[in-house]
C-alpha cells in the first residue's frame, strides 16, 4: 500500500498582490510547501516569482487570498512573525553581515537562544560540522567569503532555529557551476531532513533535477503544475509552452 503523502505545511490560496495600487503582480496564485519536498517555481523573468516569496513571507501583504502555516492563518503577518511560525526566507542577494565574522553571523542566527550560552555553542558547533568550509573560515569577515560560501553561511544561519519552511530565491545566481551543484545538493538535503522547500529559480535544468513538484508561472498566474516526472527531461517542451502561452495573450 502506497504511504499517504505528507500534508502541506505552508498553503497559499488565490494570492493577489502588487507594489502599486491597482496594478496586480500576483493574480490568484496558489502554491504549497510540503515537508520532505523541494517544490520549484519556474518561469520567465517578470512573472512574479520573487514577488510570490515576498508575499508569503510578509514583505508584501496580499490584497486578496490567504496564507496558512501549520493550519493557522498567517496572512498579513510581518517577516519576524513568520519566522516565529517556522518560515525563513533566503533572498537572491546575500543577506549576511559582511564585516562581522562567520561565527558572529551564525550566532546572530541563534539570537533567540542568547540567554542560553550552552545552546548557542551547540548550534554553532552543529553548523560548522555540517558546513566544513565555515569551520575553516569561522574567524574571517563574512564578506571575504566567495559567493557560494556566503550561500552556505546563509543556509547554516537559517538552520539555527530549526525552521520548517524554506523560501529560497535564485540560490545560485552569479555562482560558478561547480559550486552551484553543491548548493543544489544542500537544498535537496534540507528536504531529505524533512524540511519544506519552495524554490524560485531561473536554472531550469538544475531545478528540475532536484524538484519533487513544479509550478510554472506566467504573468502573475500559475500556468501549469505537476510532479517532477511531469516536467523532467523535457526542458525544451517546457520552454516552448512558456513561449506559446506568451504569444497567445
Distance CA 231, CA 226 (A): 7
Report yes or no on 225 lying in a domain. yes
The mean per-residue pLDDT over the stretch 131-136 comes to: 87
Q: Is 210 helix (H, G, I), strand (E, B) or coil?
A: helix
Report yes or no on 146 lying in a domain. no
Q: Which of 49-53, 159-163, 218-222 has the lowest mean pLDDT?
A: 159-163
DSSP label of 141 = B
Report yes or no on 151 lying in a domain. no
The mean per-residue pLDDT over the stretch 237-243 comes to: 60
Give residue 197's pLDDT: 97
Sign, Cα dihedral of 174, 178, 179, 180 = positive
The percent of residues in the chain predicted with pLDDT above 90, rounded, is 45
Report yes or no on 211 lying in a domain. yes
The domain that contains 184 carries what CATH number? 3.40.50.300
Please identify which residue in the block is written with the cell numbers 564578506: 143
Give residue 249's pLDDT: 39
Total tally of structural domains belonging to the chain:
1
Report yes or no on 28 lying in a domain. yes
Report yes or no on 3 lying in a domain. no
Distance CA 98, CA 135 (A): 17
Give residue 221's pLDDT: 93
Strand-pair partners of 41: 200, 215
Distance CA 147, CA 113 (A): 28
**Predicted TM-score of the model (pTM):** 0.89
Give residue 242's pLDDT: 59
The pLDDT tens digits for 19-44 are 998 899 999 999 999 999 999 998 88
Distance CA 30, CA 32 (A): 7
Please identify which residue in the block is written with the cell numbers 487570498: 65
The pLDDT tens digits for 98-118 are 999 998 898 888 777 666 677
Domain membership of residue 224 as a residue range: 10-98+163-247
Q: Is 48 helix (H, G, I), strand (E, B) or coil?
A: coil
Amino acid at each position: 500500500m502506497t504511504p499517504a503523502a505528507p500534508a502541506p505545511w505552508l498553503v497559499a490560496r488565490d494570492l493577489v498582490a502588487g507594489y502599486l495600487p491597482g496594478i496586480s503582480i500576483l493574480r490568484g496564485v496558489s502554491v504549497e510547501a510540503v515537508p520532505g519536498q523541494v517544490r520549484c517555481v519556474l518561469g520567465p523573468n517578470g512573472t512574479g516569482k520573487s514577488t510570490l516569496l515576498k508575499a508569503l513571507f510578509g514583505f508584501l501583504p496580499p490584497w486578496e487570498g490567504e496564507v496558512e502555516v501549520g493550519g493557522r492563518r498567517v496572512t498579513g503577518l510581518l517577516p519576524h512573525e513568520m519566522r516565529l511560525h517556522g518560515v525563513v526566507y533566503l533572498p537572491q542577494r546575500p543577506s549576511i553581515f559582511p564585516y562581522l565574522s562567520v561565527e558572529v553571523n551564525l550566532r546572530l542566527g541563534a539570537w533567540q537562544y542568547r540567554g542560553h550560552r550552552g545552546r548557542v555553542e551547540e548550534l554553532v558547533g552543529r553548523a560548522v560540522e555540517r558546513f566544513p568550509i565555515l569551520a575553516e573560515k569561522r574567524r574571517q569577515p563574512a564578506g571575504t567569503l566567495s559567493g557560494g560560501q556566503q550561500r552556505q553561511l546563509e543556509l547554516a544561519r537559517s538552520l539555527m532555529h530549526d525552521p520548517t519552511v524554506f523560501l529560497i530565491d535564485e540560490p545560485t545566481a552569479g555562482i560558478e557551476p561547480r559550486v552551484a551543484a553543491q548548493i543544489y545538493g544542500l537544498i535537496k538535503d534540507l528536504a531529505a531532513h524533512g524540511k519544506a522547500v519552495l524554490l524560485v529559480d531561473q536554472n531550469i535544468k538544475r531545478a528540475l533535477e532536484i524538484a519533487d513538484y513544479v509550478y510554472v508561472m506566467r504573468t502573475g498566474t500559475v500556468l501549469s503544475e505537476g510532479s517532477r516526472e511531469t516536467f523532467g527531461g523535457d526542458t525544451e517542451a517546457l520552454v516552448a509552452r512558456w513561449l506559446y502561452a506568451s504569444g497567445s495573450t
